[in-house]
Amino acid sequence: MAKNTLTFDPSSGVAYGVNLTLNTGADLDADYTVVGTSGTAFDFSSDNAVAIGTAAVADWTGSAQLSKSVAIGSSQHAAATFEVGFTSAKGGEFRLSLGSTATRTLKEGRYVYDVLVSSGASVYRIVSGDVLVIAGISSAP
């Protein structure tokens, strides 16, 4: 399981880069701890929605997709959709998950992904990167 710590500044508009590796047919779980620019845990609880400028208090949600890396100008489509769950909203922690059923259908190669978090109408691309998908050589009996 990958564990990553990243700094989130909603006003910067820049996603934090994190690359991942996954084996086809295996579960992928990547844990992220998010800190604000002050170095303290970013608060994803509904109490923090007003503090970053949204019009009303709203719960934070997350979404993420994986797409095959393609040449510039080519169209992309989602190869898989991750589950994004806040494991500690006040502690700035979330988990990105993709089950073995979904990874089993992926072809070996390089993919790209990003994670969006949102509160009310505000949407932030918080993480993005490459995913190297490695096909297994051996098979389980």
Strands 93-98, 16-17: pairing kind: unpaired
- 94, burial (CB in 10 Å: exposed 0-12, middle 13-18, buried 19+): buried
Share of the chain above pLDDT 70, in %: 81
* pLDDT for the residue 111: 92
Q: Which two tokens stand for residue 95?
A: 């988990």
- Distance, in Å, from the CA atom of 83 to the CA atom of 91, rounded to the nearest integer, reads 19
All domains of the chain in start order, with CATH: 2-134 (2.60.40.10)
For the chain, how far is it from start to end, CA to CA, in angstroms?
A: 24
Question: What is the 3 state secondary structure string of the chain?
Answer: CEEEEEECCCCCCCCEECCEEEECCCCEEEEEEEECCCCCECCCCHHHCHHHCCCCCCCEEEEEEEEECCCCCCCCCEEEEEEEEEEECCCCEEEEEECHHHHHCCCCEEEEEEEEEEECCEEEEEEEEEEEEECCCCCCC
C-alpha pair distances (Å), 34 with each of 43, 55, 66, 82, 135 = 9, 23, 21, 18, 31
Does the pLDDT at position 75 exceed 60? no
pLDDT in tens, 3-58: 889 998 888 888 999 999 999 999 999 999 999 889 999 888 866 654 555 444 45
- Distance, in Å, from the CA atom of 1 to the CA atom of 125, rounded to the nearest integer, reads 22
Q: What value does the mean pLDDT of the chain take?
A: 83
pLDDT in tens, 21-32: 999 999 999 999
Report residue 132's pLDDT band, with 50, 70 and 90 as the boundaries: very high
pLDDT in tens, 83-127: 999 999 889 999 999 999 999 999 999 999 999 998 878 899 999
- pTM passes above 0.85: no
